[in-house]
Chain A
Amino acid sequence: MSEIPAELRYTKSHEWVRALPDGSLMVGITDHAQGALGDLVFVEVPEAGRQLSAGDACAVVESVKAASDIYAPLGGEVLAGNDSLATQPELVNQDPYGQGWILRLRPDADPDSALLMDAAAYGEFVAAGH
Chain B
Amino acid sequence: MATVLEVRGVTKAFPGVVALEDVEFAVDAGEVVALIGENGAGKSTLMKVLAGVHRPDVGEVRLDSKPVTFHRPADALRQGIALIHQELELCENLTVAGALFLGAELRRGPFLRSREMAVRAREVTARLGLDVDPDRLVETLAPGQQQLLEIARALRADARVLIMDEPTSSLTQRETERLLAVVDELRAAGVAIVYISHRLGEVQQIADRVVALRDGKNSGSCAGSDASHDRLVAMMVGREVGSSDRQPHEPGDVALAVRGLATTAYPAHAIDFTVRRGEIVGIAGLLGAGRTEVLRALFGADPRAAGVVEVAGVALDREGPEAAIAAGLALVPEDRKREGLVLPMTVAQNVALPTLRRRGRWLDRAYERDLTDRAIGELGIATAGGSQVAGTLSGGNQQKIVLAKWLAADPVVLLLDEPTRGVDVGARAEIHDRLHELAGDGLAVLFVSSEMEEILTLADRALVMHEGRLAGELGRDELSEAAILRLAVGSV
A and B physically associate: no
